[in-house]
Structure formats: C-alpha cells, structure tokens
Amino acid sequence: MFHYFKGILAYCVGATAVVDCGGVGYKLTVSGTTSSAIAARVGSEVRLYAYLAVREDAMELYGFYTEEELDAYKLLTTVSGIGPKAAISILSIFTPQGLAAAIASGDTRAISRAQGIGGKTAARVVLELKDKFSFFGEGEDSTPSGGERARTVAASGIAEATEVLAVLGFSRAEIATALKKADPTLDSEELVKYALKQLTK
C-alpha cells in the first residue's frame, strides 16, 4: 500500500518517527539503525521506506532509512516466532549487511543480543534464512544505485558510532546533536572522534 514517505521529519525519539507529508503526520516505528541515521535531521526532508503491518486489532507503520533494511525486515518476519517488533529489535543492532554476515556464519550469539530474542529464536533465524538472506548489495540485480549505496554506508557509520557513544554513557539526544553537522561519509571511528570533541567542549 505504501512504498515510502517523503516529507519533513517532525519528530524522532527512540523507536518513533513522525514524517509530515503535506500537513499529515505519519507515525512510524523505526529501528535503532534508522533512528540514529535520521535523528539529527528533524526539521529537514527525509524519505523513509514503509511497511504497513496489519493485525486483527491494529495497524502499524514501520519505517526504514534504506530499501535494504526494509527487505531485511520482510525476510525476518517470515521466520517462525519473529513478529514486527522482534524484527525491528534485530535491525536495531544490525545493519542489513551485518545481519547477513551473522546469518551466514551462524552467529546466533550475536543475534540473541537483540532485545527479546533468545537463543532458540536466534537459531531459527539462522536456520530459516541461511538460504534466503544473501549478502545485500551482491549480484547484478541487487546492486544499489550510487546514491542508495552512499545512504546505506552513511546510515551504517552513524549507527555504529551512536552505539559506541551510547556505551560511553552519552544519551541518544546528546549523540544526535553532536553528530548533526558531521560529514556522514566519515567512517564510524572518525564519527566517534568528531562527536567526542563536540561532547567534551
């Protein structure tokens, strides 16, 4: 029904983002990876790829910074016992590429670090997706455009830097402010150094 929402990011805190499209605010649940990539862009235009999850008692929109993350979400929700919230939890600690690598190597311990994901569930993710979850970006048919690839790299670097800074005790709000003017093409290590300079001024 929806492919993406393009508009002004009106709000982004934690797992909730609101995109204003022509005066209508669409509330989307987002992963930690997406939240980290867009948190500093409140008031600016963003594009979030969307998935509408329909249940008997509710409908909920989920938003993703890249189409690769949306594809990863769809694959995760095909696993027995993995619902929308569990899929978002896994994508909050993995980029699509990182998750593909974890599945390929059978790293259930890493997958079980996601909130609400136990060892048995992580094992099902590996078992049921090992033949489906190929490395994103490989192959002629799945090669993203230059712009899409750049957005994916930027999102990955910012997300990784955010996690490192969070471990150091900084809040996500402080981190988002510190990274607001950073060059998104920097790698995660350089982004951490840049943010620390801003946070310790």
| Cβ(112)–Cβ(121) below 8 Å | yes
CATH number of the CATH domain containing 179 = 1.10.8
pLDDT of residue 158: 72
pLDDT in the model for residue 70: 93
Question: Within a domain: residue 136?
Answer: no
| pLDDT confidence of residue 153 | 45
For 4-41, the pLDDT digits (tens) are 999 999 999 989 999 999 999 999 999 988 998 898 89
Domain range for 17 is 4-64
How far apart are the C-alpha atoms of 67 and 50, rounded to whole Å?
A: 9
Q: How many domains does the chain have?
A: 3
- Boundary-marking domain end, from 64, 82, 101: 64
Q: Is residue 82 part of a domain?
A: yes
> Which pLDDT value is given to residue 193?
85
SS3 string of the chain? CCCEEEEEEEEEECCEEEEEECCEEEEEEECHHHHHHHHHHCCCEEEEEEEEEECCCCEEEEEECCHHHHHHHHHHCCCCCCCHHHHHHHHCCCCHHHHHHHHHHCCHHHHCCCCCCCHHHHHHHHHHHCCCCCCCCCCCCCCCCHHHHHHHHHHHHHHHHHHHHHHCCCCHHHHHHHHCCCCCCCCHHHHHHHHHHHHCC
d(CA 164, CA 93): 12
Give strand pairing partners of 24: 21
Domain co-membership, 73 together with 123: yes
Q: Identify the segments of the chain with pLDDT beneath 70.
A: 1, 134-157, 167, 184
Q: What is the pLDDT of residue 182?
A: 80
pTM score, whole prediction: 0.66
- Looking at the fold, whether 34 and 50 belong to one and the same domain comes out as yes
